[in-house]
Amino acid sequence: MMKFRNIVGLGVLLILLFACEHKRDESENPFDVNEEVDTSKVKLKDATIEGLHQNVFSVRCANPTCHDGSFEPDFRTVQSTYSSLVYHPVTKNDDQGSFTYRVVPGNADESWIMRRVTVEDVLGRMPLYAEPLTTQEIEALKYWINDGARDMQGNLPDLPNVQPAVHGYQIQDLQQNRVDTIRVNGWGSAVILQANTDYDYYFYITDDNTLTENLQNQKIEFSYDRDNWTPFHQITPTKLWTDITKATFNTSAFQANTTVYLRYFVEDDQGGKTETPEDGSPYWLKDNYSIIVQ
């Protein structure tokens, strides 16, 4: 049996894990990106996204089978260069997962692109198998980033809104016994519940800017069709503790011996919407969010 304190403990653990910051060793970096740019080494017309594309990215990086659209970042055009760099999530990271975006406007030190063009590590220094960027080219890139990574019109970019995230759930009976571990055929299958019985759903929800209690349009919908979503029942969860929400339901609302699929809908105050699972989710995740009444 697992009491409610277990899910509270789980929530605390997850929050602490997600809040951890990793420090990286800067000693191998020959360029201290924390230092101010030496403007004597920078031609300001080159320290723009157009200048960088013309003088660096298009000629040094957009080589065949490389950053020519074969994979990101895409340096074929000025627009594709900007879009695939600024506030674009990192796909390959260092061992500590230190970086979030390829370019963080105003902060060259936190921009993955700076490390990739200055540090020789297991991923290789970019441009790969070619001459490294010159000091002037690196200083121009650093200047553009620290100046805010302005777009083609000189505008500063807005921080993107991250959609709310549903990290998982538990189901407990009214005696606070965990029951979502009792399944038809392991983790990726329906939870077995008893007929005409009350259960509590607990969900762990987070958002980058909005407190869970202020998230909007939170609802749980149920459908008998996994792949063609047609809800027949809906319940509204309530805030329980920090990032934990709770919804109580009675299984009398569901047909016996029929698999029921659920989705959690939530929206933040900046228009970011999430449904978990969604239409494009893998079948095993949809099955994991299902129940069957026996």
The total number of structural domains in the chain stands at 2
Q: Greater confidence, 96 or 16? A: 96
Is residue 154 situated within a structural domain? no
Is residue 274 situated within a structural domain? yes
Q: 48: domain range?
A: 29-146
Is residue 16 situated within a structural domain? no
Average pLDDT of the chain, as a whole number: 81
> What is the per-residue pLDDT across 12-55, written as a single tens digit (0 to 9) for each?
333 333 333 333 333 344 344 445 555 555 666 678 999 998 88
If asked whether residues 268 and 180 sit together in one domain, one would say yes
CATH number of the domain residue 282 falls in = 2.60.40.10
pLDDT at residue number 122 = 56
> What is the per-residue pLDDT across 129-164, written as a single tens digit (0 to 9) for each?
668 889 999 999 999 999 999 999 999 998 877 788
Is residue 107 situated within a structural domain? yes
Q: Last residue of some domain: 146, 175, 207?
A: 146
> What is the per-residue pLDDT across 113-130, written as a single tens digit (0 to 9) for each?
999 888 877 567 777 766
Q: Give the C-alpha separation, 185 to 139, whole Å.
A: 58
> What is the per-residue pLDDT across 185-225, written as a single tens digit (0 to 9) for each?
988 899 999 999 999 999 998 887 778 778 888 999 999 99
If asked whether residues 140 and 193 sit together in one domain, one would say no
If asked whether residues 171 and 288 sit together in one domain, one would say yes
Q: Is 23 left (phi over 0), alpha (psi -120 to 50) or beta?
A: beta
If asked whether residues 140 and 186 sit together in one domain, one would say no
DSSP E strands in the chain: the ranges are 165-173, 191-193, 198-206, 216-223, 231-235, 238-241, 244-250, 259-267, 273-276, 290-293
If asked whether residues 171 and 200 sit together in one domain, one would say yes
